[in-house]
Amino acid sequence: MIYVVIVFLWTSILLYILLGGADFGAGIIELFTSKGNRSKTRKTMYEAIGPIWEANHMWLIIAIVILFVGFPKIYTTVSIYLHIPLVCMLLGVIARGTAFVFRNYDAVKDDMQKLYTPIFVYSSLITPFFLGIIAASSVSGQIDIQAQDFLSAYVFSWLNWFSVTVGIFTVSICGFLATIFIIGQAANDDDRSFFIRKARRTIYIVMFCGALVFVAAYHENIPLASWIFGDTLGLTAIIAASISLIIMFFLLQRKKPILLRLLAGFQVTMILFAATYSHFPDIILLKNGSNLSLLTHQGQAKAIDTLGYALLIGSIFILPALVYLIYIFQQKKEVQETY
Amino acid sequence: MDDFLAARLQMAFSLGFHIVFACIGMVMPFFMSVAHFYWLKTKKAVYKDVTKAWSKGVAIFFATGAVSGTVLSFELGLLWPTFMEHAGPIFGMPFSLEGTAFFIEAIALGFYLYGWGKLNPWFHWFTGVVVGISGLLSGILVVAANAWMNSPAGFDFVDGKYLNIDPIKAMFNDAWFSQALHMSVAAFVSTGFAVAGVHALMILRRKNVLFHSKAFKIAAVFGTVAACLQPISGDISAKDVAHRQPAKLAAMEAHFHTERNAPLIIGGIPDTANKRVDYAIKIPGLLSFMTTGDFNGEVKGLDAIPKEDQPPVAVTHYAFQIMVGLGMAMVLIALLYFIALWKKQQWLKSNWLLKLFVIATPMGFIALEAGWTVTEVGRQPWIINGVMRTADAATPMPGIAYSFYLFTGVYISLAIIVSLLLYRQITMVDKLYDSTSKLSKT
């Protein structure tokens, strides 16, 4: 049952990055779009993400619940030593979620929008940035449970070049997902080629940020290269991701939005796989060399079993409904209120 | 500020904020579905207008509630890591199920908000009902987790270790039913009165009267019926607390001495140093009767509890008085409303009854917050009753005071913006929602 729970944990993190990431990306892209094109981008994005927006950050909650029910030691270690980036991320979550609602449900469209929009776009940037920092810090080996002073216990646990570059990389991934997603939503050919240009630029940025992560890892003496390339499966995943990126580059012009989305999703899945597989089952690498492992630091068997059953039963209800929701709103049917 | 106090205040603020949004988010879908049902049945446009206006409210509150709930799931670990390390696996069952319920609610809300004209009308209506039911279920589940803190079950506590854990037993602990019942009814009372009060005010101002009258009636019926049921559930809760947590009951009642024929103490100022309550109304024997069913039954006082295990008396007592007082006030208004509905139809047209509802707008929520203060402060100094002290659960990280200031600032600004948003939704009813008023203009 422990493996069922781990699969759910990994999948909910993946889905949060994919669906939530596209959602964050929407705000990031808006930030990096010139004023003239902003409202077009915004309108297209809203039509695309509106219906599934409510469901997106549920994945984060599920991942957190799995952690504290199944792996309490891991949850509390992260909560204590990564307190500050977690709080920053939470502020981003609050600001973003509420600003999204405010700008879409304010009955009067006036200058208040000028307040909501910056909150929305900047928090879209901050939240994935800190998510990346948290993810990187868990494996960068800087969490020091023997630290005596405030700085080394609670600040240098996450403040290093590696974590920061992973944060930037996460932001670029979100932007990438959003631009690929939006291509399929374009209303006409002009918009489409505008979004395609954008997508192409984002792909360059993602590759550049990815390279930065390796430089920073080298600088911090983190054996990232050997984690990813030293393992056959990890290497295969990265090669598969690269090939699909090249295919995607040539497909951008073709009108195959679904295929593009699948390729983008595939790439991110492969990157997450390569990044997590190499040190599975360890999930937190501590400074003193000991690791927190999903297998040795799991909760008592009964807790894991009931959690596993709860997740299995839950997904029977959730997945079909979610798929149907996405399916219904992907059909470009003219809305006619006939009743 | 002391870090421990800051952590407690931050938790209290976050919960206090979340509770309001979560309650409205889980109860308003029911109001909305009733209005929607009337629209599908009667085809009167006003019901469709009310449904649409309320669905905007649901969206705003749901999203704010979801966000503040996400924050809470992290705060549990950020502020109380030692608690979560041991409690997480034991009381996690309701949380994992709640994840499902909440997820379904979010999906159903997606269908509902964006489904006008796209779905079969009755399927569309049904998704609105699902929003309400799954919202209510997640509320019940979260309260079951809180009940476990009051009434720990499903594990053996041996030499500081938590052994043989049984998450199912933990979920169905002794307190879950009485707490979940009291809370669910409270959510209906507070949301019903809050919504009814706002619409009553608009009727008094003679704005879109038909629209607001229909809305008022639906909300008022929910709120008043729930208000009359609440004392029954309160009685179940009181007996349960007296049995399981005598320290909490003693603090609620500022009942210092163990005695038979114990009086019910109403109001007053507890004097902990001299162990007495000044200026209170005391009804002899009533407390004994209410908790044991016998006027001569023995009720444990604070003197039966070791000093270091006693909860703060004044806060718990005042909060309890506020909750019961406001609850009773709402029962009275409810009774007047029932008389008006059945016997004195002319009262419904007069202003005084509506004014009473306007005054009662915040009562439910104040009572609700007071009730949670009783539950939480009354459990102190324990975070897991009788097992783990709150002080032992707090994070080792210093400087929590700053985090408290930060979150307080965020929550206050959010509350202000949400109020502004609602105010605007209400003032825009004429333009956006009331189709009859548009017709009359053109």
Q: Pairing mode, if any, of strands B281-283 and B259-260?
A: unpaired
Whole-angstrom Cα distance, residue A106 to residue A110?
A: 9
For residue B417, list chain A residues with Cβ-Cβ distance below 8 A: 98, 102
Instruction: List, for residues A106-146, the tens digit of each pLDDT value.
Output: 777 777 777 888 888 888 899 999 999 998 888 887 777 77
Please give the share of chain B, as a percent, with pLDDT higher than 70.
Answer: 98
* Tokens, residue B87: 């409690």
Cβ atoms A163, A133 nearer than 8 A: yes
Residue B299 backbone phi and psi in degrees, to 5: -115, 125
Q: Provide the chain A residues 306-325 that lie in CB contact (below 8 A) with chain B.
A: 306-307, 310-311, 313-314, 317-318, 321-322, 325
- Crossing angle between the packed helical segments B313-342 and B246-253, to the nearest 10 degrees: 70
- Identify the pLDDT of residue A210: 86
Cβ atoms B256, B275 nearer than 8 A: yes
Mean pLDDT of A246-253: 81
Largest CA distance in chain A: 68
Whole-angstrom Cα distance, residue B317 to residue B276?
A: 13
Is residue A337, in this structure, part of any structural domain at all? no
Per domain, the residue ranges of chain B are: 3-240+317-441
Domain interval for residue A256: 2-329
Is residue A249, in this structure, part of any structural domain at all? yes
Residue recorded with tokens 């892209």? A29
For residue B410, list chain A residues with Cβ-Cβ distance below 8 A: 91, 94-95
- Identify the pLDDT of residue A331: 63
Whole-angstrom Cα distance, residue B89 to residue B86?
A: 7
Mean pLDDT of A76-92: 89
Whole-angstrom Cα distance, residue B322 to residue B178?
A: 20
CA distance B160 to chain A (A): 16
* Tokens, residue B218: 């639906």
Residue recorded with tokens 């492969």? A270
Instruction: Average the pLDDT over each of A227-231, B163-167, B374-378 and give the range with the smallest value.
Output: A227-231
Mean pLDDT of A187-206: 83
pLDDT bin (cut points 50, 70, 90) of residue A260 is confident
Whole-angstrom Cα distance, residue A257 to residue A195?
A: 12
> Domain total for chain A?
1
Is the pLDDT at B150 greater than 50? The verdict is: yes
Q: Provide the chain A residues 41-70 that lie in CB contact (below 8 A) with chain B.
A: 50-55, 57-58, 60-62, 64-66, 68-70
pLDDT bin (cut points 50, 70, 90) of residue B98 is confident
User: Residue B43: helix, strand or coil by DSSP?
Assistant: coil
User: Residue B388: helix, strand or coil by DSSP?
Assistant: strand
- Identify the pLDDT of residue B441: 41
Contact criterion met (CB < 8 Å) for B71 and A105: no
Whole-angstrom Cα distance, residue B165 to residue B380?
A: 24
Instruction: Average the pLDDT over each of B13-27, B30-44, B409-423 and give the range with the smallest value.
Output: B409-423
Q: Which helix (H) or strand (E) holds A114?
A: helix A112-139
Is residue A77, in this structure, part of any structural domain at all? yes
Mean pLDDT of A188-202: 83
Residue recorded with tokens 């825009």? B428
Q: Is the ipTM value over 0.90, yes or no?
A: no
Q: Provide the chain B residues 263-282 that lie in CB contact (below 8 A) with chain A.
A: none
CA B320 to chain centroid, in Å, comes to: 14
Long-range contacts of B111-114 (CB under 8 A, 24+ apart): B111/A51, B111/A325, B111/A328, B112/B55, B113/A51, B113/B55, B113/B59, B114/A50, B114/A51, B114/A329
Contact criterion met (CB < 8 Å) for B63 and A100: yes
Instruction: Transcribe B302-371 into DSSP letters.
Output: GGGS-GGGPPPHHHHHHHHHHHHHHHHHHHHHHHHHHHHHHT-HHHHHSHHHHHHHHHTTTHHHHHHHHH
Q: Provide the chain B residues 352-411 that lie in CB contact (below 8 A) with chain A.
A: 395-399, 403, 406, 410
pLDDT bin (cut points 50, 70, 90) of residue B421 is confident
User: Residue B245: helix, strand or coil by DSSP?
Assistant: coil
With CA atoms as reference, report the closest residue to B386 among B280, B245, B265, B177: B245
Contact criterion met (CB < 8 Å) for A64 and B74: yes
Instruction: List, for residues A271-303, the tens digit of each pLDDT value.
Output: 888 878 777 777 777 777 777 777 777 777 788
Whole-angstrom Cα distance, residue B96 to residue B127?
A: 22
Whole-angstrom Cα distance, residue A321 to residue A317?
A: 7
Instruction: List, for residues B107-129, the tens digit of each pLDDT value.
Output: 888 889 888 888 888 999 999 99
pLDDT bin (cut points 50, 70, 90) of residue B440 is very low
Residue A54 backbone phi and psi in degrees, to 5: -60, -30
Q: Provide the chain B residues 284-343 that lie in CB contact (below 8 A) with chain A.
A: none
Q: Nearest CB to B110: which of A55, A68, A73? A: A55
Q: Nearest CB to B84: which of A75, A112, A310? A: A75
- Our CA dihedral for B328, B330, B335, B340, rounded to 10 degrees, sits at 160
Instruction: List, for residues B53-93, the tens digit of each pLDDT value.
Output: 898 888 888 888 888 888 888 898 889 999 988 888 888 88
Report the residue of chain A nearest B91, measured CA to CA. A69
Is residue A338, in this structure, part of any structural domain at all? no
User: Alpha carbon of A162 to those of A84, A207, A212, A222, A274: distances in Å?
Assistant: 17, 16, 9, 8, 17
- Identify the pLDDT of residue B135: 92
Is residue A104, in this structure, part of any structural domain at all? yes
Q: Which helix (H) or strand (E) holds A105?
A: helix A83-105
Residue type, A143: I
For residue A53, list chain B residues with Cβ-Cβ distance below 8 A: 110
